[in-house]
Structure 1
Amino acid sequence: MNSTQRQGRPNVLLITVDQMRFDCLSIAGHPVVETPNLDELARSGVRFSRAYSATPTCVPARAAIFTGQSQRAHGRVGYQDCVPWNYKETLPGELAKAGYHTQCIGKMHVYPARNLLGFHNVMLHDGYLHHNRNNHGIPMQEHYDQVDDYLQWLRERVPGADMTDLGLDCNSSTVARPWHLAEMQHPTNWVVTQSIDFLRRRDPGKPFFLWMSFVRPHPPFDPPQAYLDLYEDADIPEPSVGDWAETEDPDLAGYSPITGRGLVPKRRLRKAMAAYYALITHIDHQIGRFLQSLNEYGELGNTVILFTSDHGELLGDHHLFRKSLPYEGSTRVPFIVSDPGNRLGLQSGTVSDHVVEMRDIMPSLLEAAGVPIPETVEGESIWRLASAGRDGGSKPDWRPHLHGEHAQGLQSNHWVTDGKEKYIWFSQTGKEQFFDLVEDPNELHNAIGDEDRQERIRYWRSVLIRELEGREEGYTDGHQLITGRKPVAVLSHIL
């Protein structure tokens, strides 16, 4: 007898990857990327084609997943490490209180690093985090040697190994080389190996919540050679470059890992793109490995599955790289739900164009588990969007738009979108952009000056003003946007 037959509740499997673009699924029409296992999840489940990360870097995106809140409520509106996580209601915490056996394997990126945040156990690998490695004259409160489980595991097998052995920077999206050790020792394989072991050692009398949290395809771009070989000779399309992008580099400054922008030699960029796609296929195959084990344990049909990424990767679009900026490659993510046991009545094989976001994960998974949703949660459960029982196929009421942002010095930005149009405001310079995502999905033309767009631009500007009313930074007086107000990465109410 399996655990869910005893409890009458489904297991919950959350699979997240780090820095995967929305379009890197073969089922979504990507001309190169191969993702057979994720494609099958989408065919048997529902794929959300307009999923976003409202604050697209690791820390704030994960705050939204853990709390089900908007960035205004969870308080992390930019990237800042070493700010304690003191949230009372969290996704794993609510499931644990309801009798679930809760386990995270892989990346958490919380502080302190070993903060359980409601999990019964965490097998941790956050990747290379600067605050756990660098000592700039300030005594470190925690060091990677003390907090990273994968590194300890690796060093038992490869004495002296480190995460920097390949010489690749943890934030560079422009350089790549193949993984140098056995494939089974790659961090992607480690997450799945430990997850399969969890199936063996879990409490058999409880349903489980497992968060498989991969660090890749976040840099370093280090796929096993067999996966890199899949893309070495592929006809990889060049990145999209808008009419508004910087296209000259007279000082030969090249790519800046600090700003995430710059011109990169085509050969190097192509290699990086091939490695990025290879990491995604590697993850896909390892997800397939885990799903096979889940089936062997008799739990696949008793498990609700959600797959997504915390944010995207610009990967050279508009000569930009990494994340945090308001463009589709950075903010838009894959989002797939699957219910092999058909508990939720999903309209299998369909694609939803409703705008969903990281904050919707917590209420969705709690509802699937039959667990009450705390009042602190601002996201909404997505199951009614994916249900086969909608009356006459009519669209249910849903959020009319999403407000996204990221504090980042001169690049600090705010944006609003309904998945069809997008308005962007850079708070420090006052620069504005407007994109028609239906006619111009690659954001090639900034229509902010087009006469026929002015009514829509005024509308979206007013929407952003309403979203920013009352913010401590003073971005608006309720009538207009105010340029030059000092951005903060963390709002004062959580400090």
Structure 2
Amino acid sequence: MKQKKPNILFIMTDQLRGDCLGIAGHPDVKTPYLDTLAAKGVLFSNAYSACPSCIPARAALHTGMLPEHHRRVGYQDGIAWRYEHTLAGELSRAGYYTQCVGKMHVHPLRNYLGFHNVELHDGYLHYARYGSVPYRESQHVADDYYYWLKEQKGISADPMESGLDCNSWVARPFPYEEKYHPTNWVTDRSIDFLRRRDPDQPFFLMASYLRPHPPFDAPAYYFDLYKDKKLTPPYVGDWEDTKLLKERGRIFDSLTGPEDEELIRQAQIGYYACITHLDHQIGRLLMALTEHELQNDTMIFFTADHGEELCDHHHFRKSLPYQGSIHIPLIISGNPELTGFAPHSVCDEVTELCDIMPTLLDIAGADIPDRVDGKSLLAFADGEGREYLHGEHSYGELSNHYIVTKKDKFCWFSTSGTEHYFVLEEDPHELHDRIEDPACRERIAYLRNCLIRELTGRPEGFTDGTSLIAGREYPVYLAEK
């Protein structure tokens, strides 16, 4: 029976920087399978996460809405996910069998968001392990990987015995055999889905990997690839100070990277090791498509929820408006007649995670809900992109907004009022803040007015319509209008 709709393999990663691909020109990281995927499809060079931390970024992915509309403008566990439409729900209605393997990071943990089935591994979630969460909502009960690991190894459902934390820059190899690593588990279960699928029904398979999100614990083989290699040091601009680094640089679970240069190097080794391990496991999954004779009938998407500062500008983790945090990889590979992009092409239009949902629905021939903010990336092949993207993140003293275009970026920290301006086309690593440059004054004023326009009418009172107002209360979840 000839399928009328293409299968969709959606590969999601967590905390992978947009520049950490070989094909993106990274000087150190090796990603042969992802490079192959991009060479057969299109790489979006200006893909961003509008609210760069796990929960709000995934809300954009699953709803196709920008933060102001899905209402998650910061990181907060325990808020129920209730939306009129979801990506998997719409594809299910369009006739797809929908399966997720790996990370969801929703509430409650076993909320399927319209998927027919979920095999869950969310990583280490503090909220779901301690405190007053119900028994059924404890990760010890709800997480399928932990259950599987306990059955396989006879150990407690806790892979943290290596002494690493889920937000830490401390790194060391995985303490068990590689086949027990959660990255391998996601691949194994995804491949098993290909074996079990109904061959007469199109599928949407979301292989949702946790790494390279900490812990940086790739198998030893991958650490060995980088441990003796000279690595490019983190990017630190001529505009920043070390105040926060001196306060926090000796705390392993920190907003900053470490002060110690050797610990910085170890963090880089661990992060890059996780990326190449991930790449090789994605290679296994791509080869399984070939074994199942699905490579010609399947559209493949690859992206991440947000990036990782990895000691750039002395910072660590995400949630900030700098490139390490907000710039993400995005690849579409498959039938060029469906995408409009020739193989080995690069699209420099400004794209965002909310664009994924309308793109997939477009490929599936399904209707796109009216409340979706995103744009189908298939239209971007004809140059129908956006002028700029407004991003934001509630983050305490570091709460921020940004306006980013193909060539530059304006940042505003809403608590302090601090502003930055970077000319990305000349300075992609944000080494020079030109906010005081007279030659840029007119452009800065234009981008500032774009932000004012985006924030006008917001409940926080960030603007009076003519200027930005710092110091306003900024909740992580906006009340429904």
**Structure-1-length-normalised TM-score:** 0.94
| Partner Cα distance (2:199, 2:297) in 1 | 13
Contact 1:132 1:140 in 2 (8 A): no
Matched, 1:236 2:231: yes
**In structure 1, which of residues 258, 261, 274 is the aligned counterpart of residue 256 of structure 2?**
261
C-alpha offsets along residues 199-237 of structure 1, whole Å, 9 cap, x if unaligned? 111122210000000000000000000111111111100
| Corresponding residue for residue 452 of structure 1 | 439
Q: Evaluate the alpha carbon distance shift between residue 249 and residue 116 of structure 1 in structure 2; reply closer, same or farther with a 3 A threshold.
A: closer
Q: Give matches, 1:192-207, under 5 Å.
A: 192-207=187-202
- Matched to 2:103, the amino acid is K
Q: Percent identity?
A: 53
Deviations 1:410-458 (A, max 9, x none): 1100000113111111111111111111111110111111111111111
1:438 aligns with 2:425: yes
C-alpha distance in 1 between matches for 2:196 and 2:294? 14
Structure 2 counterpart SS, 1:300: coil
Question: In structure 1, what is the equivalent of residue 449 of structure 2?
Answer: 462
> Whole-Å Cα distance in 2 between the matches of residues 475 and 258 of structure 1?
31
Q: In the alignment, which residue of structure 2 is the partner of 1:282? A: 277
Give the CA deviation at 1:254: 2.0
Residue in 2 aligned with 1:37?
A: 33
1:369 Cα deviation after fit: 1.1
Q: Among residues 10, 15, 18, which one is paired with 2:6 in the alignment?
A: 10
Count of aligned residue pairs for this structure pair: 480
Shift of 1:479: 1.2
Cα distance in structure 2, aligned partners of 1:333 and 1:257:
25
Partner of 1:113: 109
Distance 1:246 1:84 in 2: 39
Distance 2:265 2:470 in 1: 38
Distance 1:60 1:93 in 2: 19
Superposition pairs of residues 65-80 of structure 1, within 5 angstroms? 65-80=61-76
Aligned CA distance change for structure 1 residues 345 and 449 (closer, same or farther; 3 Å):
closer
Looking at structure 2, the residues matched to 380 and 214 of structure 1 have their Cα atoms a distance apart, in angstroms, of 25
* Secondary structure at 1:488 match in 2: coil
- Report SS of the residue matched to 1:326: coil
Cα distance in structure 2, aligned partners of 1:422 and 1:352: 18
What residue number does 1:324 align with? 319
CA RMSD of superposed structures (Å): 1.6
3-state DSSP of counterpart to 2:77: coil
For the 8 Å contact 2:358–2:376, the answer to whether it is kept is yes
| Equivalent residue for 1:191, pick from 186, 195, 205 | 186
CA distance in 1, matches of 2:445, 2:254: 30
Contact 1:300-1:340 within 8 A present in 2 as well: no
Give the match for residue 341 of structure 2.
Answer: 346
CA shift for structure 1 position 371: 1.1
Counterpart contact for 2:101–2:119, Cα < 8 Å = yes
Q: Deviations over 1:364-416 (max 9, x none)?
A: 01111111111111100111324xxx5xxxxx232110000000111100000
Aligned-residue offset at 1:263: 4.2
TM-score of the pair, normalised by structure 2:
0.97
Check the 8 A contact 2:64/2:357 in 1, yes or no: yes
Q: What secondary structure is seen at the aligned counterpart in 2 of 1:311?
A: coil
In structure 2, what residue type is equivalent to 1:472? Answer: P
2:413 is the counterpart of 1:413: no
| Equivalent AA in structure 2 for residue 367 of structure 1 | D
Question: Structure 2 CA distance, aligned partners of 1:271 and 1:250?
Answer: 17
Q: 2:332 aligns with which of 328, 334, 337?
A: 337
Residue 211 (str. 1) matches residue 230 (str. 2): no
Partner in structure 2 of residue 393 of structure 1 = none
Show structure 2 runs of 5+ residues with no match.
none
Residues 270 and 250 (structure 1), Cα distance of their counterparts in 2 relative to 1, 3 Å cut: closer
Which is worse superposed, 117-126 or 452-461?
452-461
2: CA distance, partners of 1:313 / 1:436 = 21
Shift in CA distance, 290/470, structure 1 to aligned 2, threshold 3 Å: same
Q: 1:344: Cα distance to partner?
A: 3.3
